[in-house]
Amino acid sequence: MFTKILHQPKTGTLIRYYSKTVLPQTPCPEFPGEYREPIIKTVIPGPQSLELQKKLNQYQDPRATHFFADYSNSRGNYIADVDGNILLDLYCQIASIPIGYNNPELIKAAKSDKWISTIINRPSLGVLPPKDWPALIQNSFMQVAPKGLKNVFTAMCGSCANECAYKAVFMHYQHIKRGGAPFSEEELQSCMKNQAPGSPALSILSFKKAFHGRTFGTLSTTRSKAIHKLDIPAFDWPAASFPDLKYPLEQHEKENRQEEDRCLAEVEKLIKTWHIPVAGLIVEPIQAEGGDNWASPYFFQGLREITLKHNVSFIVDEVQTGMGVTGKFWAHEHWNLTTPPDIVTFSKKMQAAGFYHNINYRPSESYRNFNTWMGDPLRALELEVVIEQIKKNHILENVTVTGKYLKNGLTDFQKKYPKLVSNVRGVGTFLAFDFPTPAIRDQVVASLRAKGVETGGCGNNAIRMRPMLICQPSHINIFFDRFDATLKELANK
- The least CB distance from residue 354 to ligand PSZ, in Å, is 11
Residue 454 is a binding residue for ligand PSZ (CB under 6 A)? no
Q: Please tell me the distance from the alpha carbon of residue 166 to that of residue 186, in angstroms, as a whole number.
A: 23
Binding mask 73-102 for ligand PSZ (x = CB under 6 A): ---------------------x--------
Residue 159 is a binding residue for ligand PSZ (CB under 6 A)? yes
Number of residue whose CB is nearest ligand PSZ: 158
Cβ proximity to ligand PSZ, 31 vs 141, nearer residue: 141
| Window of 68-76, 157-165, 229-237, 417-425 that interacts with ligand PSZ by CB under 6 A | 157-165
Q: Please tell me the distance from the alpha carbon of residue 185 to that of residue 160, in angstroms, as a whole number.
A: 30
Q: Please tell me the distance from the alpha carbon of residue 16 to that of residue 147, in angstroms, as a whole number.
A: 34
Cβ proximity to ligand PSZ, 420 vs 468, nearer residue: 468
Whether 408 and 14 have beta carbons less than 8 Å apart is answered as yes
Instruction: Give me the helices (H) in 59-103, please.
Output: 92-95
DSSP 3-state percent helix, strand, coil across the chain (nearest 5): 40, 15, 45
- The least CB distance from residue 96 to ligand PSZ, in Å, is 8
In this chain, which of 75, 172, 209, 212 binds ligand PSZ, going by CB under 6 A? 212
Cβ proximity to ligand PSZ, 98 vs 213, nearer residue: 213
Beta-strand relationship, 453-454 and 430-434:
unpaired
CA angle 275/278/284 to nearest 5° reads: 130
Cβ proximity to ligand PSZ, 320 vs 472, nearer residue: 320
Site for ligand PSZ in 323-382 (CB under 6 A): 347
Instruction: Give me the helices (H) in 279-376, please.
Output: 297-309
In this chain, which of 177, 178, 214, 328 binds ligand PSZ, going by CB under 6 A? 214
Residue 319 is a binding residue for ligand PSZ (CB under 6 A)? yes
- The least CB distance from residue 484 to ligand PSZ, in Å, is 28
Q: Please tell me the distance from the alpha carbon of residue 191 to that of residue 487, in angstroms, as a whole number.
A: 58
Cβ proximity to ligand PSZ, 162 vs 389, nearer residue: 162
Whether 263 and 241 have beta carbons less than 8 Å apart is answered as yes
Instruction: Give me the helices (H) in 140-284, please.
Output: 158-177, 185-190, 216-219, 226-229, 253-273
The single residue of 153, 170, 211, 242 carrying the catalytic annotation is 211
In this chain, which of 284, 292, 384, 434 binds ligand PSZ, going by CB under 6 A? 284
Tell how far CA 81 is from the center of its chain.
24
| Window of 38-46, 109-117, 236-244, 314-322 that interacts with ligand PSZ by CB under 6 A | 314-322
In this chain, which of 211, 247, 417, 430 binds ligand PSZ, going by CB under 6 A? 211
In this chain, which of 288, 344, 383, 421 binds ligand PSZ, going by CB under 6 A? 288
| Window of 29-37, 315-323, 433-441, 446-454 that interacts with ligand PSZ by CB under 6 A | 315-323
- The least CB distance from residue 156 to ligand PSZ, in Å, is 8
The single residue of 209, 348, 404, 407 carrying the catalytic annotation is 348
The single residue of 83, 292, 317, 376 carrying the catalytic annotation is 317
| Window of 110-118, 312-320, 371-379, 413-421 that interacts with ligand PSZ by CB under 6 A | 312-320
- The least CB distance from residue 162 to ligand PSZ, in Å, is 6
Q: Please tell me the distance from the alpha carbon of residue 115 to that of residue 121, in angstroms, as a whole number.
A: 10
In this chain, which of 317, 342, 382, 384 binds ligand PSZ, going by CB under 6 A? 317
Q: Is 348 a catalytic residue?
A: yes
Whether 125 and 153 have beta carbons less than 8 Å apart is answered as no
- The least CB distance from residue 375 to ligand PSZ, in Å, is 13
Q: Is 183 a catalytic residue?
A: no
Residue 320 is a binding residue for ligand PSZ (CB under 6 A)? yes
Q: Which residues pair with 282 in a beta bridge?
A: 315
Q: Is 493 a catalytic residue?
A: no
- The least CB distance from residue 299 to ligand PSZ, in Å, is 17
Residue 247 is a binding residue for ligand PSZ (CB under 6 A)? no
In this chain, which of 146, 213, 302, 377 binds ligand PSZ, going by CB under 6 A? 213
Cβ proximity to ligand PSZ, 50 vs 157, nearer residue: 157
Residue 232 is a binding residue for ligand PSZ (CB under 6 A)? no
- The least CB distance from residue 344 to ligand PSZ, in Å, is 12
> 271 in the Ramachandran plot: left (φ > 0), alpha (ψ -120 to 50) or beta?
alpha
Q: Is 150 helix (H, G, I), strand (E, B) or coil?
A: coil
Distances from the Cα of 246 to the Cα of 252, 329, 355, angstroms = 6, 26, 32
CA angle 354/359/360 to nearest 5° reads: 105
Q: Please tell me the distance from the alpha carbon of residue 65 to that of residue 54, in angstroms, as a whole number.
A: 11
Distances from the Cα of 193 to the Cα of 279, 352, 453, angstroms = 22, 35, 53
The single residue of 26, 339, 372, 437 carrying the catalytic annotation is 372
Residue 289 is a binding residue for ligand PSZ (CB under 6 A)? yes
Core vs surface per residue 34-73: b (16+ CB within 10 A) or e: bbebbebebebbbebbbebeeeeeeeeebeeebbbbbeeb
Q: Please tell me the distance from the alpha carbon of residue 391 to that of residue 396, in angstroms, as a whole number.
A: 8
Residue 435, phi then psi, degrees to nearest 5: -120, 165
Active-site amino acid positions: 211, 317, 348, 372
**Contact positions toward ligand PSZ, by CB under 6 A?**
94, 157-159, 162, 211-214, 284, 288-289, 317, 319-320, 347
